[in-house]
Amino acid sequence: MTQQIYNDVITKLQHYMLDENNIQKSQIHIAVNKEQKKRFVKSSTVEKKTLFCPREKDSLFWCFYVMKYGDTSYEMLKHRNFITEKKLKFECIEKIRADKQLIKTYKFATLTHLENNLANDERIDVKTFLSLCVIENLNVIYINKKTYFKLSISDTDTNSIHVIYCLDNYKYGHEQTTTNNDITNNLFPLESIDKPIKAISAYKVQELVDICNKLSIETTCKDKKKDLYELLIQYF
């Protein structure tokens, strides 16, 4: 009886003994884990979004700077302080004054608004940003929540496009992606920055429902046309 108990204990301890068989199994297990870790790291790196968010207060202006000069130029710029920023903004004002007709053609903002925004305000607004893109011949997609506005200036054959994301707390992010990556599929297109939607008379009830659904705005079957339109006004 005692011998049987002893044999049972020995059998159960076989898995924990450092014999040749168990050592080989352990090495295989470690190799498999390392390979799985490599695959996970590689997958995570590929899926990670390449969004660049400037650290400065006027992050939208510095997104524009990166669009124009590149992120390497941004990183190599030693002094991204108030004085440097104002110097760059006054250079933008000079360019705007030199190409007034182009600014008037796109009508994002008046010359007075652009000059005042660049010279006196802590941050540039979207109208000024888009006007600067016009001056510098830069194509961009501006994304805010579930909406987007596309500005196409250049007809050059390129497979690259600038994307600006409106984040929280007056922060913006820049991403350069390919035209094949259609990031606007599930977003609502804005025809104008000033007027995101048309007058209520331009829509049918179902069209308003469809827009609400695209923007993830909750609706009910009891909502009337004016109710749906009011929901959209509040969203924008």
| Claim to verify: residue 77 and residue 180 sit in the same structural domain | yes
Is residue 181 a part of any domain in this protein?
yes
Is residue 180 a part of any domain in this protein?
yes
| Claim to verify: residue 18 and residue 90 sit in the same structural domain | no
| Claim to verify: residue 116 and residue 138 sit in the same structural domain | yes
| Claim to verify: residue 74 and residue 183 sit in the same structural domain | yes
Is residue 214 a part of any domain in this protein?
yes
pLDDT at 78: 79
| Claim to verify: residue 69 and residue 156 sit in the same structural domain | yes
Is residue 32 a part of any domain in this protein?
yes
Check: CB of residue 175 under 8 Å from CB of residue 48.
no
Is residue 14 a part of any domain in this protein?
yes
How many domains are contained in the chain?
3
C-alpha distances in angstroms, 179 versus 84, 107, 162?
Answer: 33, 26, 10
Segment 65-77, tens digit of pLDDT:
999 999 899 998 8
Residues in CB range of 28: below 8 A, 6 or more apart = none
* Dihedral sign computed on CA atoms, order 199, 200, 204, 208: positive
Give the domain range for residue 138.
59-189
Residue whose C-alpha is closest to residue 208's, from 189, 227, 190: 227
| Claim to verify: residue 96 and residue 135 sit in the same structural domain | yes
**Number of residues in the chain:** 236
| Claim to verify: residue 134 and residue 112 sit in the same structural domain | yes
Is residue 10 a part of any domain in this protein?
yes
| Claim to verify: residue 167 and residue 80 sit in the same structural domain | yes
pLDDT at 158: 62
pLDDT at 37: 40
Q: Which residues of the chain have pLDDT under 70?
A: 1-49, 155-159, 179-181
| Claim to verify: residue 148 and residue 209 sit in the same structural domain | no
| Claim to verify: residue 161 and residue 221 sit in the same structural domain | no
How far, in Å, CA of 183 to CA of 175, rounded? 11
Is residue 52 a part of any domain in this protein?
no
CATH code for position 69? 3.90.70
pLDDT at 181: 66
| Claim to verify: residue 113 and residue 163 sit in the same structural domain | yes
| Claim to verify: residue 129 and residue 218 sit in the same structural domain | no
